[in-house]
Chain A
Amino acid sequence: MELINSIFELLFGTDPELRQIIAVTLRMSLFSTLFSSLIGIPAGVLLGANDFRGKPFLTRLVNTLLGLPPVVAGLLVLLLLSRSGPLGSFRLLYTVEAMVIAQVLLITPFISAMTANLVGVNAKVINETLVGVGIHGPKRLKYFLLDFRVPFISIILAGFGRSIAEVGAVQMVGGNVQFKTRVMTTAIMMQTNMGRFDFAIALGVTLLLISFLVNSIVNRIQKAVSDD
């Protein structure tokens, strides 16, 4: 009961910090998923739909990046964006933008690999069918994107799930700055370290509720696209 009260208080109470944390979490997750999808899906289609020299190597590389530890991605972005780093002049470290960059680094290989695997299963017969009706080269991309539009939504959703649940990289490049870069996961970790387990659990449940809400909205979109 106390837990439910805590969640209710967090969501609808007077504390402005939680609403700020939710807003930052959503902003970071949505933008990182958007950019990762814009890069990852076309890249995955190109990888899965075509046979070319170097494809096995590229596939192995993408699959290897699937196992990239978040803290390593965080470290790379930290080094890039730190004041002495090559992109230090942009002063992006400890901002939401830095967190989005780290997330894109983590999620893009995931979306690319899932897309390439999905498309690759039928790529040969799709290509033959398209060539048979005179559709060659880059024009084929449009039909791959259209044909797999429904499963692509599932892949994007899985990418969003990864993004909203990630903690290592965003902690490193975001710094968990109050009212600025603190997100649900870094807040949970901080509350746990402070021994405020009930608050941490309430945050965790709230995170799941947000994820459930986003899933429900996306499922409706998926159904609408599927019926189209």
Chain B
Amino acid sequence: MIELKNVLVKAKDRLILDVPGLRFERGKRYGIIGENGSGKTTLLRVLMGTVKTSQGSIEGLNLDHKVGYLPQSPYAFSFSVLRNVSMTLENDQERDELVLEALQKVGLGSLIHSRGSTLSGGEKQRLGLARLLAVPKEVLLLDEPTSATDIRGTDIVEALLQEWFEKTKGMLIFTTHAPAQALRMADEVIFLEDGRVIEIGSPQDLFNHPQEAETQAFLSHWVI
């Protein structure tokens, strides 16, 4: 379990994140939604420790143990895709097989010898995911993991995350701009606005019967 207590993040005088209390449990998938600048990415960065909090604490998260984080625009290094994925793997005989398996799962098996820097934005996101999943993980923090992928890529990523979750029963926390994705993938949805948690609930409850005016206003823009 990960618990945020009285977490405040400020940049100069601007309040970026204000979370009095928030709990994430193992064996659950959390979808974080909200407008641009609502604090979704900052929340993930706080969990990863790449953004320092002005106040508060995060308990229960040991970054040394099997926590993976995928930024919204993961960097693909200029060396080969194979080397990009094998960065954290031991250089043994099984390495190339593991990498190929991870790349095939994200639909990039044919690009194993391509240069990472030549990939498209969506391919880089899938490469980043392959890089994360090549090593066993218990917690995944994904910042809009399909923001640049096409519908086929989105399908591949969602299926892969579903498979990972069923296999590990770990903790998945992802941000998304697409409420439909949260509906498909999350057990709990967290709605953020102006750095504050406005509402938390199951996707069905939150999308069908939003309680707060801010959530209702946000979802009123959801057009299928």
Any A CB within 8 A of the CB of B114: no
The answer on a CB contact under 8 Å between A135 and B48 is no
Complex Cα gap A148–B75 (Å):
13
The answer on a CB contact under 8 Å between A132 and B74 is yes
The answer on a CB contact under 8 Å between B75 and A122 is yes
The answer on a CB contact under 8 Å between A132 and B88 is no
Across-interface contacts of A147 in B (CB, < 8 A): 77-79
The answer on a CB contact under 8 Å between A134 and B70 is no
Which of chain B's residues 68-111 have a Cβ closer than 8 Å to chain A? Answer: 68-71, 73-75, 77-79, 87-88
Any A CB within 8 A of the CB of B39: no
Any A CB within 8 A of the CB of B203: no
Known contacts A127-B50, A143-B87, A150-B78; is-contact A133 B132 (Cβ 8 Å): yes
Across-interface contacts of A125 in B (CB, < 8 A): 71, 73-75
Across-interface contacts of A135 in B (CB, < 8 A): 87-88
Query: Chain B nearest CB: distance from A131 CB in Å?
Result: 6
Any A CB within 8 A of the CB of B131: yes
Question: Which B residue's beta carbon lies closest to that of A129?
Answer: B75
Question: Which B residue's beta carbon lies closest to that of A227?
Answer: B115
Across-interface contacts of B48 in A (CB, < 8 A): 128, 131-132
Complex Cα gap A149–B45 (Å):
29
Across-interface contacts of A122 in B (CB, < 8 A): 75
Any B CB within 8 A of the CB of A1: no
The answer on a CB contact under 8 Å between A129 and B88 is no
Which of chain A's residues 88-141 have a Cβ closer than 8 Å to chain B? Answer: 122, 125-129, 131-135
Complex Cα gap A30–B84 (Å):
33
Known contacts A131-B69, A133-B131; is-contact A146 B79 (Cβ 8 Å): yes
The answer on a CB contact under 8 Å between B73 and A134 is no
Residues of A at under 8 Å CB distance from B? 122, 125-129, 131-135, 143, 146-150, 228
Q: What are 23 of the A-B contact pairs (CB < 8 Å)?
A: A125-B71, A125-B75, A126-B75, A128-B48, A128-B50, A128-B71, A129-B71, A129-B74, A129-B128, A131-B69, A132-B68, A132-B69, A132-B71, A132-B141, A133-B132, A133-B135, A134-B64, A134-B67, A135-B87, A135-B88, A147-B77, A147-B78, A228-B79
